[in-house]
Amino acid sequence: MDPQARRPGFFSLPAMLHENAYIAFVFFSCCDIALTWVILRKGGAEVNPVAAVVIRDWGLPGAIGFKFSLTLFVIVLCEVISRIRPRTGRILAMASVLVSASPVVWSGVLLARHAIDRAEHVSSLELGVAEPRERRSQPNIVVILADDLGWGELSCQGQRRFSTPAIDALAAAGVRCTNGYSGSTVCAPSRCAILTGLHMGHADVRDNVERPNPSQGEFGGQAPLAASAVTLGERLQRAGYETAFVGKWGLGNSGTEGDPLTQGFDRFYGYLCQRHAHNLYPTHLIRDRERVELPGNDPSSRSESLYAPDLMADEAASFIMSPRDVPFLLVFASPLPHLALQAPAEAVARHAVADDPAYQGGKGYLPCAAPRATYAAMVNKLDDHVARLDQALRRSGQWEDTIVVFTSDNGSTFEIGGYDPEWFDGTGGLRGHKTNLYEGGIRVPWILRWPGVVPAGTVLDMPVTGWDLVPTLCDAAGVAPAPGSVDGIDLRRWLASAGRVDAPQPPERELYWEFASSGGQRAMRIGSWKALQKGARKDPLAPIALYDLANDPTETTDVASAHAELVEDFRQRMMRARTTARDPSCDLPWGPANNSPAHE
Q: Is residue 564 part of a domain?
A: yes
CA dist list (Å): 251 to 188, 312, 316: 6, 18, 20
Mean pLDDT of 92-107: 69
Q: Is the peptide bond before 340 cis (omega within 30 degrees of 0)?
A: yes
CATH number assigned to the domain comprising residue 550: 3.30.1120.10
Instruction: Please report how the helices 371-395 and 165-172 are oriented relative to each other, as an axis angle in degrees rounded to 10.
Output: 50
Label residues 64-94 b or e (16+ Cβ within 10 Å = b): beebeeebeebbeebeebbeeeeeebbebbb
Q: Is residue 58 part of a domain?
A: yes
Do 36 and 112 lie in a common domain?
yes
Report pLDDT for 218.
86
Which residue did the predictor score with more confidence, 483 or 18?
A: 483
Do residues 282 and 297 make contact, with C-beta atoms less than 8 angstroms apart? yes
Residue after which a domain boundary falls, among 496, 529, 558: 496
Do 465 and 590 lie in a common domain?
no
Query: H/E element holding 23?
Result: helix 21-42
Cα–Cα distance measured from residue 386 to residue 177, given in angstroms and rounded to the nearest whole number: 18
Nearest to 387 by CA among 164, 178, 113: 164
Number of domains forming the structure of the chain = 3
pLDDT above 70: residue 170 = yes
Nearest to 47 by CA among 120, 116, 111, 121: 111
Query: Kindly report the CA angle at 97 between 108 and 77, in degrees rounded to 5?
Result: 135
Mean pLDDT of 3-7: 44
Do 435 and 369 lie in a common domain?
yes
Cα–Cα distance measured from residue 176 to residue 171, given in angstroms and rounded to the nearest whole number: 5
Give pLDDT tens digits for 326-349. 999 999 999 999 999 999 999 999
Cα–Cα distance measured from residue 285 to residue 188, given in angstroms and rounded to the nearest whole number: 19
Do 584 and 447 lie in a common domain?
no
Q: Is 472 helix (H, G, I), strand (E, B) or coil?
A: helix
Mean pLDDT of 142-168: 97
Mean pLDDT of 496-503: 93
Label residues 531-550 b or e (16+ Cβ within 10 Å = b): bbbbebbeebebebbbbbbe
Which one-letter DSSP state was computed for residue 262? G
Q: Is residue 25 part of a domain?
A: yes
Do 408 and 340 lie in a common domain?
yes
pLDDT above 70: residue 110 = no
Q: Is residue 309 part of a domain?
A: yes
pLDDT above 90: residue 134 = no
Q: Is the pTM of this model over 0.85?
A: no
Do 331 and 230 lie in a common domain?
yes
Do 478 and 345 lie in a common domain?
yes
Nearest to 590 by CA among 201, 209, 35: 201
Identity of residue 492: R
Nearest to 52 by CA among 35, 27, 68, 77: 35
> Within 13 Å of residue 498, how many CA atoms lie on the same side as its CB?
28
Give pLDDT tens digits for 362-392. 888 889 999 999 999 999 999 999 999 999 9
Report pLDDT for 109.
64
Do residues 474 and 194 make contact, with C-beta atoms less than 8 angstroms apart? no
Report pLDDT for 36.
61
Mean pLDDT of 23-34: 69
Do 546 and 474 lie in a common domain?
no
- Over the chain, what is the mean pLDDT? 87
Cα–Cα distance measured from residue 273 to residue 434, given in angstroms and rounded to the nearest whole number: 19
Instruction: Please report how the helices 49-84 and 21-42 are oriented relative to each other, as an axis angle in degrees rounded to 10.
Output: 170
At 304, the pLDDT band (50, 70, 90 cuts) reads: low
Mean pLDDT of 557-579: 98
Do 233 and 96 lie in a common domain?
no
Label residues 473-509 b or e (16+ Cβ within 10 Å = b): bbebbebbbeeeebbbbbbbebbbbbeeeebeeeeee
CA dist list (Å): 438 to 191, 513, 514: 19, 11, 12
Q: Which of 30-34, 190-194, 515-519 has the lowest mean pLDDT?
A: 30-34
Give pLDDT tens digits for 402-438. 999 999 999 999 999 999 999 999 999 999 999 999 9
> Which segment, 79-88, 215-224, 229-238, 590-599, is predicted with the most confidence on average?
229-238
Do residues 279 and 270 make contact, with C-beta atoms less than 8 angstroms apart? no
Report pLDDT for 31.
74
Do residues 192 and 183 make contact, with C-beta atoms less than 8 angstroms apart? yes
Do residues 519 and 396 make contact, with C-beta atoms less than 8 angstroms apart? no
Share of the chain above pLDDT 90, in %: 72
> Which segment, 36-45, 362-371, 575-584, is predicted with the most confidence on average?
575-584
> Which segment, 70-74, 113-117, 523-527, is predicted with the most confidence on average?
523-527
Report pLDDT for 550.
98
Q: Is residue 365 part of a domain?
A: yes
Do 95 and 163 lie in a common domain?
no
Report pLDDT for 16.
44
Cα–Cα distance measured from residue 168 to residue 449, given in angstroms and rounded to the nearest whole number: 12
pLDDT above 90: residue 21 = no
Q: Estimate to the nearest angstrom the gap between the alpha carbon of 90 and the chain centroid.
A: 54
Report pLDDT for 63.
64
Query: Kindly report the CA angle at 224 between 254 and 534, in degrees rounded to 5?
Result: 150
Residue after which a domain boundary falls, among 496, 522, 555: 496
Residue 277's domain comprises 140-496
Q: Is residue 40 part of a domain?
A: yes
Q: Which of 25-39, 396-410, 523-537 has the lowest mean pLDDT?
A: 25-39
151 Cβ neighbours under 8 A, 6+ residues apart: 157, 180, 411, 412, 426, 427, 428, 430, 439, 440, 443, 444, 445
Give pLDDT tens digits for 229-240. 999 999 999 999
> Within 13 Å of residue 143, how many CA atoms lie on the same side as its CB?
26
CATH number assigned to the domain comprising residue 320: 3.40.720.10
Q: Which backbone phi and psi does 430 adopt, to 5 degrees?
A: -75, 150
Do residues 191 and 274 make contact, with C-beta atoms less than 8 angstroms apart? no
Helix, strand, coil content of the chain in percent (nearest 5): 40, 15, 45
Q: In angstroms, how far is the first alpha carbon of the chain from the final one?
A: 116
Q: Is residue 134 part of a domain?
A: no
pLDDT above 90: residue 115 = no
At 56, the pLDDT band (50, 70, 90 cuts) reads: very low
The residue ranges of DSSP E strands in 42-170, in sequence order, are 140-146
Do 294 and 324 lie in a common domain?
yes
Longest dimension (CA), the chain: 117
> Which segment, 109-118, 151-160, 359-368, is predicted with the most confidence on average?
151-160
Do 207 and 234 lie in a common domain?
yes
Report pLDDT for 62.
64
Q: Is residue 4 part of a domain?
A: no
At 104, the pLDDT band (50, 70, 90 cuts) reads: low
